[in-house]
Chains A and B, each alone.
Chain A
């Protein structure tokens, strides 16, 4: 019995350790709009602007879903502006990447809180379509060349570098306490892991006592 339990636990926990050593995703956040449909069409040399929730502090790239109707994606310029119109962060992408999910590197240029993002499209194609969500025109809708349109474009932020799940644990712990009962904090993930370990110890001891 002890051998069965020891082998099964060792195999399982070994698999977990290996799994945790894989590269973890680089998500930093998003504007909470999914790329469900093509929600905006921007002509060559046009500009799309839309309001934003806070830009994550660790955002190093912005991902957009772009359709070009065939040709490579034109040059893109992405700017994040605060309420006064000052640039907080910006990014450039040179022309030539294939259409699909496109990643624009971001650079912080000033402290402050971005309230809207503006994307300027180069002139190598007649127009591009951007993935996002459709909807009625309201205060939170996008603007194309200064004209308000229904819908919002999806922007997903990525962190810089690469990490394994082990290395990502402190970040996970920080996120784990957010959006929950205020009594929970970044200690909650560690507490949950310790409680789960106690549950496992209890279960194994119970099996050894009752089954042998």
Chain B
């Protein structure tokens, strides 16, 4: 036998061995995944399926590209899918010729922001669209700077998978499949909410389903999840982080849980830079978890802590390095952090720390006597946050009738009172959870502070409002917790009934939001 034959034989044997190993590894991973799925309570799996189908329906109801910034998110994902790298940014075309011509043929630019305008309503217009799509415009763009190109690429890399798997190269078919991935992320977020409530409130079985379904039918959450929108991975990773931290608080910080927390934190940071606002609270929680693990072994606790930090930091550092060295995107964060933190105003002058603090306070709370400048004409709670969460759809161009927001405001006040009653009644049960709740509060304050910090810079530079209700949705797990706490406020006996009523209100809220959407685009 010649040397070539021997080498070839050895290579083939090694190849077969590697293939067998890979198969065994994949089989093992599949088995473990199935076991993990089986460990999820049946109700949790049902909530997942309900959420997925519900959001998939939303994905059909909302016309292509009518979810806020969907054109930019799709453009980013298409660039990643076609070139294998994130957009270089710069003053060149933002979208591929294919996307640009589709947008024009859909009359996209005459529909957004103009609630009286419709897109394609006739067969003749649809035929003209199909003819344009059939011309074979290039799907490869130049990757010019858009509102999202300074974000990390994880969501867009994941969206490249359905883009590639699409049986058709038609842009609208690809978009529809990519929307299904967003629906999957939303369903996983709902599952995380279910598991979080189960972990935090193990004796309130009714509350797991109520909280998860209330999120599953929340129409603003569903509207964002209906589109190709990077926020969906942010909501998922934030909810998963909250779940894993709660689990580790309840059960201890093991090496496996530390790896899980670190991996999800890395994924969150690489999904959208907003996740950075949650990091102080997450860091505090990891320190707390390691400190609580000290009695079981100092070295083991420190090792778990270090693992969580390294697993979280390594992919982010690699991304920063790639931005500077391989992708040449200008800076370690591709300009994302610099863009949001630039304090210089276009006309000269600098936004001070005091202005930022005043603005951030006024964004959520009534202005105090020593705050000289009023940044808002009316309470942002009533003009931004409540309407934003209840429903401000499309490219912020259609809403419910005014009375709906008034009714939800009154409902919210009643639920806040009930939640406070529950907190007082259950204070003894809450006390052991206080340390992790403080960490969660720090996460929430971090997010609210970041919205204020970026908001004043955007508002004073552009003269328009920055905030939208969806910016709060990384905390959607706490929204579910608030609702079940409010339901518990009426007492143990009636809590499930009020919880069920809240879910039905959410279902009807979602249904009317869908009919409103149908009348907006097709009526």
Residues in A with CB closer than 8 Å to B508 are: 8, 12, 15-16
Interface centre among A27, A36, A179 (most CB of B within 10 A): A179
| Residues of chain B contacted by A28 (CB below 8 angstroms) | 121
Minimum CB distance partner of A169 in chain B: B518
Tell me if B213 and A203 are in contact (CB < 8 A): yes
Among A53-61, A72-80, A116-124, the stretch in contact with B = A53-61
| Per-residue B-contact encoding for A159-174, CB less than 8 Å = 1, 0 else | 0000001001000100
Residues of A within 8 A of B106 (CB): 179
Q: How far is the CA of A196 from the CA of B50 in the complex (A)?
A: 9
Q: Is B289 an interface residue when CB atoms closer than 8 A count as contact? A: no
Tell me if B130 is interfacial: C-beta within 8 Å of chain A.
yes
Q: Does chain A have a CB within 8 A of B29?
A: no
Size of the B side of the interface (Cβ < 8 Å), in residues, is 63
* Cβ-neighbour of A211 out of B56, B206, B216 (below 8 A): B206
Query: Hey, which bits of chain A sit against chain B, CB under 8 A?
Result: 1, 4-5, 8-9, 12, 15-16, 19-20, 24-25, 27-30, 32-34, 36, 53-54, 56-57, 113, 133, 156, 165, 168, 172, 175-176, 178-184, 188-189, 192, 195-196, 198-200, 202-203, 206-207, 209-212
Q: Which residues on B are within 8 Å of A, measured CB to CB?
A: 43, 46-47, 49-50, 53-54, 56-57, 60-61, 63-64, 106-107, 110, 114, 116-126, 128-130, 168, 170, 172-173, 175-176, 205-206, 208-210, 213, 216-217, 496-497, 499-501, 503-505, 507-508, 511-512, 514-515, 518-519, 522-523
Residues of A within 8 A of B507 (CB): 12, 200, 203
What 7 pairs between A and B have smallest CB-CB spacing?
Answer: A179-B120, A54-B124, A12-B508, A8-B504, A211-B496, A181-B176, A178-B126
A24 to B116, CA, bound (A): 14
CA of A10 to CA of B312 in the docked complex: distance in angstroms? 49
In the complex the two chains form, is B64's CB within 8 Å of A172's CB?
Answer: no
The answer to whether A8 and B496 have CB atoms under 8 Å apart is: no
Indicate if the CB atoms of B515 and A199 lie closer than 8 Å. Answer: no
B209 lies within 8 A of A30 (CB): no
Q: A172-B518, A192-B57, A211-B206 are in contact. Are A178 and B500 (CB under 8 A)?
A: no
Residues of B within 8 A of A188 (CB): 60
A196–B173 alpha-carbon span in the complex (Å): 22
Q: Are B53 and A179 closer than 8 Å at their CB atoms?
A: no
Contact, CB under 8 Å: B57 / A56: no
- B518: which A residues are within 8 A, CB to CB? 172, 176, 189
Inter-chain contact B130/A182, CB cutoff 8 Å? yes
Contacts of A181 in B (CB 8 A): 168, 170, 172-173, 175-176
Select which of B46, B501, B519 is within 8 A of A206 by beta carbon: B46
Other-chain contact of A172, B49, B124, B499, B522 (Cβ < 8 Å): B522
